Amino acid sequence: MNQTQLITFITDYIEANQEKLDDIAKQIFDFAEVRFEEYKSSALISQVLEDAGFSIRRGVGKLDTAFIAEFSNKANKPVVAFLGEYDALPNLSQIPGLAQQQAEIPDGSGHGCGHNLLGTASLGAALAVKEALLKFDLSGSVRYYGCPAEEGGSGKTFMVRDGVFDYVDTAICWHPAPDNIIWGVSTLANIQAEYAFKGISSHAAAAPEVGRSALDAVELMNVGANYLREHVPSDVRFHYAITDTGGKSPNVVQADAKVLYLIRAPQIATVNDVYARISNIAKGAALMTGTEVTIRFDKACSNYLPNHILASTMDDIFHELGAPAFNAEEIALAKEIRKSIPEVNRQREFVSEMLTAEGKAMELAAKDKDLSDFIYPYGPEAANLILSGSTDVGDVSWKVPTVQCLVASHTRQTAAHTWQWTTTGKTSIGLKGMRHAAKIMGATGLKLFVEPELITAAKAELDNKTQQMPYQNPIPVGVDPNNQK
Ligand SMILES: [Zn+2]
């Protein structure tokens, strides 16, 4: 079976099942369940897989809404896994298809990162590959990993820590985006930790001398951390949110206050170093204010390790399939949505940081397009670029050779985690992108069963990297994902 034949098989399967896949993506859009609460979404997807003959293991990695679905034909190896996400974000409810911001449910959550599309495309790919294994009598296992809490939960990093990916040979994923490109770049590793200060409450005017302010400690900690910025590598980022100010009355010395820190850098070793220094600053702030600090490790993830063998394999398939084709009506909707994006934000594309020199030129030429109709070029030099964001796919990529792509499912120049992103997630724009991604991923997965030597080469590439820099899961043993705030 050559590449064209396997693409045709997968494409036919996805198109024959278009209605079913679209319906699942729409249902998950409506569920809009936030991290660790994806009960309906994970139940829906796992049920479809179970009905298709996959065996299901639920609650993996100590996460209620995580699961593994597996279908084997003739042998258990190789194991090709599709990663699915389905979590939404708070406060991003949006009436789908509307070119202005309007919540469908006031203060409700919404799919501001398109994970209703993400999880459904991976489902389509897994189902299509299962059919191909039977039809062409190929040996091996196809798996679907139901991965909760990508948004601020690092679900996959906990799953990797707990050995859930130990027998996987290749992992395949995608992300909805405004543009089409292979994800060949690295991302930032991160650690999130909460600093909870405990002081002594008192009347702020009548007895201030007996009070010990936890809020003072938070403020002093932040001042100290801001001074630290000068003395860390220039690519380190850290941000904080005061999650508990201790109360609303200035007349009370605040006995409790909390601040949440998110620390990022290109390598987890650097993040660990900065985390230790910030923790010392917190202890210093506690000492200064006569308070006590409790540090709670929240979550972490490693940087993404692109795999060139797999990326070029997927890139070949992506180019043979072409970009998703959008019609005049879809372009007209995107044009309206794009009008809401401030001019200053149009200068910077979601994919800008992923582009090689050739891609940069294409970006400039396409600056007025409302929907993408082209694929940015991929080259191994992309591995030297870093996207200033983080993903928990990072930890999977250190354990298993991993590949992912971005497929146009949203208006160009929109940013993730905005209503503009949410609004196309249930329209034909998003659904078209979703089905296209299912075809790319499914064909990539199938090609690995047909040419298993690609898996061997991809593993050798990963082994070579991890021999130079061994992987260590960034989440300490004992940190429970269910204790996240
Ligand atoms: Zn996302």
DSSP string for 253-299: --SEEEEEEEEEESSHHHHHHHHHHHHHHHHHHHHHHT-EEEEEEEE
- Which helix or strand (DSSP H or E) is residue 141 part of? strand 140-147
b/e code 373-403 from CB counts within 10 Å (16+ = b): bebbbbbeebbeebbeebbbbbbbbbbbbbb
Please give the distance, rounded to the nearest whole angstrom, from the Cα atom of residue 151 to the centre of ligand 1: 7
Confidence band for 146, pLDDT divided at 50, 70 and 90: very high
The predicted model gives 114-129 an average pLDDT of: 98
One-letter amino acid identity for 280?
N
List the beta bridge partners of residue 241: 260
Q: Which residues contact 263 (CB under 8 A, 6 or more apart)?
A: 190, 191, 192, 193, 236, 237, 238, 271, 274, 275, 278
One-letter amino acid identity for 24?
I
* Distance, CA of 222 to chain centre: 28
Residues with CB under 5 A from ligand 1 (ion): 113
So what's the pLDDT on residue 347?
62
Please give the distance, rounded to the nearest whole angstrom, from the Cα atom of residue 113 to the centre of ligand 1: 4
The answer to whether residues 142 and 123 touch, using CB atoms and an 8 Å cutoff, is: no
Phi and psi dihedrals of 110, rounded to 5? -155, 165
Q: Which domains does the chain have, with CATH numbers?
A: 3-187+303-466 (3.40.630.10), 189-301 (3.30.70.360)
What is the rounded distance in angstroms from the CA atom of residue 108 to the CA atom of residue 119? 21
So what's the pLDDT on residue 70?
98
- The per-residue pLDDT for range 47-62, each reduced to its tens digit, is 999 999 999 999 999 8
What is the rounded distance in angstroms from the CA atom of residue 475 to the CA atom of residue 481? 10
So what's the pLDDT on residue 151?
83
Please give the distance, rounded to the nearest whole angstrom, from the Cα atom of residue 282 to the centre of ligand 1: 31
Phi and psi dihedrals of 117, rounded to 5? -75, -40
- The per-residue pLDDT for range 78-108, each reduced to its tens digit, is 999 999 999 999 999 999 999 999 999 999 9
pLDDT of 395 > 70? The answer is: yes
Please give the distance, rounded to the nearest whole angstrom, from the Cα atom of residue 146 to the centre of ligand 1: 14
- Which helix or strand (DSSP H or E) is residue 70 part of? strand 67-73
Confidence band for 342, pLDDT divided at 50, 70 and 90: confident
Phi and psi dihedrals of 140, rounded to 5? 140, -175
Please give the distance, rounded to the nearest whole angstrom, from the Cα atom of residue 375 to the centre of ligand 1: 20
So what's the pLDDT on residue 281?
98
So what's the pLDDT on residue 485?
57
With 0-12 CB in 10 A as exposed, 13-18 as middle and 19+ as buried, what is 51? exposed
Confidence band for 292, pLDDT divided at 50, 70 and 90: very high
Please give the distance, rounded to the nearest whole angstrom, from the Cα atom of residue 271 to the centre of ligand 1: 22
DSSP state of 173: E
Phi and psi dihedrals of 90, rounded to 5? -65, 150
DSSP state of 110: B
- The per-residue pLDDT for range 192-208, each reduced to its tens digit, is 999 999 999 999 999 99
> Which of 172, 68, 28, 113 lies closest to 410, judged by CA?
113
Please give the distance, rounded to the nearest whole angstrom, from the Cα atom of residue 193 to the centre of ligand 1: 21
So what's the pLDDT on residue 483?
77
The predicted model gives 202-222 an average pLDDT of: 97
> Which of 143, 181, 99 lies closest to 370, judged by CA?
99
The answer to whether residues 153 and 87 touch, using CB atoms and an 8 Å cutoff, is: yes
Phi and psi dihedrals of 352, rounded to 5? -50, -45
Size of the chain, expressed as the number of residues it contains: 485
Phi and psi dihedrals of 402, rounded to 5? -130, 145
- In terms of pLDDT, which residue wins out, 415 or 67? 67
The predicted model gives 303-331 an average pLDDT of: 97
Please give the distance, rounded to the nearest whole angstrom, from the Cα atom of residue 397 to the centre of ligand 1: 16
Please give the distance, rounded to the nearest whole angstrom, from the Cα atom of residue 465 to the centre of ligand 1: 26
Average pLDDT, the chain: 95
pLDDT of 17 > 80? The answer is: yes
What sign for the dihedral angle of Cα 346, 348, 354, 357? Answer: positive
The answer to whether residues 242 and 219 touch, using CB atoms and an 8 Å cutoff, is: no
pLDDT of 348 > 70? The answer is: no
> Which of 113, 123, 100, 109 lies closest to 45, judged by CA?
123
What sign for the dihedral angle of Cα 313, 317, 319, 323? Answer: negative
Percentage of residues in the chain with pLDDT exceeding 70? 99
Please give the distance, rounded to the nearest whole angstrom, from the Cα atom of residue 319 to the centre of ligand 1: 23
Please give the distance, rounded to the nearest whole angstrom, from the Cα atom of residue 428 to the centre of ligand 1: 19
